Structure 1
Amino acid sequence: MRTVRNPNVLTAMKELAWFAGIATCIKLLLIPSYRSTDFEVHRNWLALTHSLPLSQWYSDETSPWTLDYPPLFAFFERFLSIFANLVDPKIVNLHEGLNYSADTVIYFQRISVIVSDLCLFYGVYRLSRNLDSAKRRMIWILIVWSPALIIVDHVHFQYNGFLLGFLLISLSCLEEGKDLMGGVVFAVLLCFKHLFAVAAPVYFVYLLRHYCRGGFFRGFGRFLMMGAAVGMVFLMAFGPFLYYGQIEQVIRRLFPFGRGLCHAYWAPNFWVFYIILDKGLAFLLAKLGINIQAPAASFTGGLVGNSSPFAVLPQVTPLITFMMVLLAMFPCLVKAWREPRPGMITRWVAYAYTCGFFFGWHVHEKASLHFLIPLAIVAVHNLEDVRHYFLLSIVSCYSLFPLLFEAKDYPIKVLLLLLHSLVMWLGFSAHFSKIASVKAVKPRQRRDKMGSGGSAAAKEGGLIVGWVGKRYLLGLLVVEIWGQFLHPYLLGDRLPFLPLMLVSVYCALGIMYSWIWQLGWIIRCP
């Protein structure tokens, strides 16, 4: 349970503004940095929603970057296009603006992401405003200064901070007992980006047991009220496309299962091990003289699209991954059903997103933000959570490094991760050393039980990871040295995707540890 205080609201807002101001300065400095294809994707969506009637938004194929986000995000792009047209009409020119890269479009889109982060700041504020100042500041460091979020949104380019803000607002409402509002905000989030639906089972079970309680008639009435409110959100978002007969096309765009099990760069999840096992078995069978029909292309080919079939192991379908996600999530759903506690909802939702990332279909490496950001809320309350989060945040951020593959961006991503790791280490060590010191000043009976007592507690409080965690993090350094220096020197242009594979496999071990750790915590938690 989180410590409830009544901090001065004005003071808390001023402190958050200071953290947000520093983050904004860093984001402004990154405006000229590398831009992925997602930058052109969103520019095309600005042009598409500005130039075409609503009935053609999800059927237009003027460029390869077709609209595949839910309607509310399309309306959000339409809203931004109004200002884009004022800044530079070429930004929203559908036919002549392909790959448009003038300074006007770069500054406009970069600043639009920075401004939209106000939603994230508000969500962080809501979830931390009742905490003591030390915990509140640590949460702001973990989220507002998150290097993973900066890399994905403000270098690579996306709007994850804006969307995660809705998630945090929803969770804050549930923690405050405002279940109806929390459910509605989550429905709004799903209409912005459907991939957040992984946590929908947790929301459903929790709201059914917590909001719809109080006897049959009262509970059924609340169930209808929640259903009507959520249904109204979806009707407002999808209704216009239902009216134009485009709903089937919208659904087809939102769920393109033909893209295959894995993304071009493997997200560090369970399927990395499955692919490696398949390739290893195929290699061994070939050495034994057993004829194996190899896939037409390699999973490490770096191409976006439908991945090749497996050579030895059974094929994996979207239904299989869906069932595995639900099975992994089952202990969490049982806990939410038996004892729906508001203080646990953030942890349960984070665990659900971890399950979706680890076992899901066509998972993008950027989806690690879905569990990394909520876990920051629960990471400041005990030393065990701190140790887990410290390792997880470093692994998750490092797994994003291949997104920024240009040499000029290498110092940026390394510096962001190292600085953030140092700030986390110092902040957590100081905070828990102080707690340990307070615990050391106890009655004589407590000191007798502790033996050398205070110093041991202070030492324990100052630690962030154990010896296993330290050695694992050192392994990240080995993987990076190999990929950046030894591989080019020893192998040259041979096996060009081996460094990517090593990053995926090694980071998958860290994500697997996090999933097992969270599962164990949920099972043993009373």
Structure 2
Amino acid sequence: MGRPVWVSFAASSVGEPLWFFSVVLCVKLLLIPSYRSTDFEVHRHWLALTSSLPLSRWYLDISSPWTLDYPPLFAYFSFLLSLPASLIDPTITDLIAGQNYSAPSAIVFLRLTVCAADLILLLGVHRLTARLPSLNRRVILALVLWSPSLLIVDHIHFQYNGFLLGILLLSLSFLVEGSDLAGGIAFAVLICSKHLFMVAAPLYFVYLLRHYCNGGSARAMLRFSMMALAVGAVFVVTFGPFVYYSQIQKVFHRLFPFGRGLCHSYWAPNIWVFYIVVDKVLAFVLGQVGFNIQKPEASFTGGLVGESSPFAVLPQVNPIVTFSLVLVAMTPCLIKAFLKPQPKHIIRWVTYTFTCGFMFGWHVHEKASLHITIPLGILAADSLDDAKHYFLLSIVSCYSMFPLLFEPREYPIKVLLLSIHVLLMWSGFTSLFNTSVSKAEDKKKKKSLKANSGLMGPVSTCYLIGLIVVEIWGQFLHSYVLGSKLPFLPLMMVSLFCAVGMLYSWVWQLRQIIRYT
């Protein structure tokens, strides 16, 4: 008797990703009534803006505080979404009457657009895993498509990161296959959709210059011209209309609002958390011994976003400093890509550049850690070391996003999502690497692999226990012990403790790049 049709379909190269996608789609549908951040109104307003106003006024409109601050290609995407939205419920795309509109029709429609856009993520991860062994592929599909961080940010908090990360994975899949021209075009589409991905542009430039534009001088010049024309065409289509309307300066002013300050109101867990904490400790100590320390104009712990001089003792940090640090941090990777550009290393290199941008960048959001964990999910099945690193990093990344969901009713959801993810990682990695061991012929190698098959050493175990302690303190003990005193302390502890984990990840990736690629 043959297997049921659905089993055969799930086992096929296309059916397997669709099965994983369908399962998580059911979860996404259940999350539709959950908490929505102000980003929901941001994206609804952008639908109304692009639908109601001529293109020449898209980046001039100030009818709402949520002005358009994504590149034009995402604005075109919003315009396309506005077409069915206006048919389903015209108020969704009404620039005035639709402000803060939260009717069930608007909520369901916008939630479903995020689910539909995730098909691009499905396509990207499918292309990257199509030739992998079945078990490796299933582990990666679970890590990427069932990412708890992505569910929290996109399907509860509300954004379109899955759609954008799908374009990134498509670009990487082309590069891994050696289709550099297609990879370059896809990356151009990505940064014309969300400019924060530009942090990987130096690596793309170096890699494509050395890997694609190679050979004799004539061949190299021809390929360089082809790449320049193809990528340039994407930028012309995206920004050309705004150059025509003499608004390109307005567009770039919206895209790069440097006046927002070094850190977001909730500190992303990066290097600047340590800098802020050291400044606050120094200010307190010096104040206690008699120094007159001037109070900063704005407090990082006050939830403020705006131009300010936040440091009381340490030197102020400006965008040029952060950009310089990002470039310096990614220099070893750029050198590797220049000297020996190899497609098999491109995912690791691109991920490392995003890590540098996250750790040292200007006004980084905690959600940007998705740029790191999603591509690293592709590499997690490569080796036991990669699995161990991903196991720790994905937990830190997801936990750092817990403060985004601050309402009590969402608390069980985020805890459950992370807990299930941990169990899936443990089960998947254990099955994957125990299977690898069982097939090894060398007994000595078997013994060595078996001895090192654990996903957590003593240091990482203690660190993860520390995360649990931080959560118990912030969620249950802080108000009981301190009452209303130091209200910023729980959030600061989350940022600081997660920053330790992110710093470890950056150092680990740098070591891998220097030693093994």
TM-score under structure 2 length normalisation: 0.97
Query: Where does residue 28 of structure 1 map in the other structure?
Result: 29
Are 2:244 and 1:240 aligned?
Answer: no
Contact 2:114 2:154 (8 Å CA) reproduced: yes
Query: Where does residue 375 of structure 1 map in the other structure?
Result: 376
From 463, 470, 492, give the equivalent of 2:461: 470
C-alpha separation in 2, matches of 1:279 and 1:522: 35
Query: Where does residue 73 of structure 1 map in the other structure?
Result: 74
Q: Which moved more, 1:510-519 or 1:375-384?
A: 375-384
Query: Where does residue 168 of structure 2 map in the other structure?
Result: 167
Deviation per CA, 1:336-369, whole angstroms, max 9, x where unpaired? Answer: 0010000000000000000000000000000000
Matches within 5 A, 1:20-169: 20-169=21-170
From 502, 523, 526, give the equivalent of 2:514: 523
Letter in 2 for 1:288: V
Partner of 2:60, secondary structure, is coil
Deviation per CA, 1:294-317, whole angstroms, max 9, x where unpaired? Answer: 212321001222344311111100
Letter in 2 for 1:379: A
Are 2:351 and 1:360 aligned?
Answer: no
Amino-acid identity (%): 62
Deviation per CA, 1:202-235, whole angstroms, max 9, x where unpaired? Answer: 1000000000000111111111110111001000
Contact 2:297 2:308 (8 Å CA) reproduced: no
Are 2:477 and 1:486 aligned?
Answer: yes
Contact 2:180 2:212 (8 Å CA) reproduced: yes
C-alpha separation in 2, matches of 1:154 and 1:396: 17
Deviation per CA, 1:44-97, whole angstroms, max 9, x where unpaired? Answer: 001000000000000000010000000000000000000100010000110111
Letter in 2 for 1:107: V
C-alpha separation in 2, matches of 1:138 and 1:106: 32
C-alpha separation in 2, matches of 1:343 and 1:9: 28
Query: Where does residue 497 of structure 2 map in the other structure?
Result: 506
C-alpha separation in 2, matches of 1:245 and 1:302: 36
Letter in 2 for 1:146: S
C-alpha separation in 2, matches of 1:30 and 1:307: 37
Contact 1:206 1:336 (8 Å CA) reproduced: yes
Query: Where does residue 5 of structure 1 map in the other structure?
Result: none
Residue 385 of structure 1: how far off its partner (Å): 0.6
Contact 2:200 2:353 (8 Å CA) reproduced: yes
Are 2:334 and 1:333 aligned?
Answer: yes
Unaligned runs of 5+ in 1: 1-7
Deviation per CA, 1:150-188, whole angstroms, max 9, x where unpaired? Answer: 000000000000000000000000000000000001000
Query: Where does residue 458 of structure 1 map in the other structure?
Result: 450
Query: Where does residue 5 of structure 2 map in the other structure?
Result: none
How many residues in Structure 1 have an aligned counterpart in Structure 2? 510
Contact 2:73 2:238 (8 Å CA) reproduced: yes
Residue 492 of structure 1: how far off its partner (Å): 1.9
C-alpha separation in 2, matches of 1:171 and 1:465: 29
C-alpha separation in 2, matches of 1:332 and 1:183: 18
C-alpha separation in 1, matches of 2:490 and 2:206: 42
Contact 2:309 2:316 (8 Å CA) reproduced: no
Residue 377 of structure 1: how far off its partner (Å): 0.9
Deviation per CA, 1:180-201, whole angstroms, max 9, x where unpaired? Answer: 0000010001110000000001
Letter in 2 for 1:40: E
Residues 508 and 194 of structure 1: CA distance in aligned 2, closer, same or farther (over 3 Å): same
**Runs of 4+, deviation exceeding 2 Å:** 304-309, 453-461
Partner of 1:263, secondary structure, is coil
Matches within 5 A, 1:164-243: 164-243=165-244
C-alpha separation in 2, matches of 1:454 and 1:379: 20
Contact 1:357 1:368 (8 Å CA) reproduced: yes
Contact 1:263 1:305 (8 Å CA) reproduced: no
C-alpha separation in 2, matches of 1:437 and 1:124: 28
Matches within 5 A, 1:387-406: 387-406=388-407
Letter in 2 for 1:501: M
C-alpha separation in 2, matches of 1:342 and 1:515: 21
Q: Give the alignment's Cα RMSD to 1 decimal.
A: 1.4
Partner of 2:438, secondary structure, is helix
C-alpha separation in 2, matches of 1:475 and 1:320: 32
Deviation per CA, 1:436-464, whole angstroms, max 9, x where unpaired? Answer: 2222x43xxxx4xx3xx745532422x11
Contact 2:300 2:310 (8 Å CA) reproduced: no
Residue 287 of structure 1: how far off its partner (Å): 1.2
Letter in 1 for 2:174: C
C-alpha separation in 1, matches of 2:494 and 2:260: 22
C-alpha separation in 2, matches of 1:366 and 1:454: 40
C-alpha separation in 2, matches of 1:454 and 1:73: 50
From 463, 488, 492, give the equivalent of 1:497: 488
C-alpha separation in 2, matches of 1:352 and 1:9: 35
C-alpha separation in 2, matches of 1:408 and 1:161: 24
C-alpha separation in 1, matches of 2:449 and 2:196: 43
Deviation per CA, 1:223-276, whole angstroms, max 9, x where unpaired? Answer: 111011100100000001111111110000000000000001000000000000
Letter in 1 for 2:406: F
Letter in 2 for 1:355: C
Unaligned runs of 5+ in 2: 1-8
Partner of 1:68, secondary structure, is coil
Letter in 2 for 1:435: S
TM-score under structure 1 length normalisation: 0.95
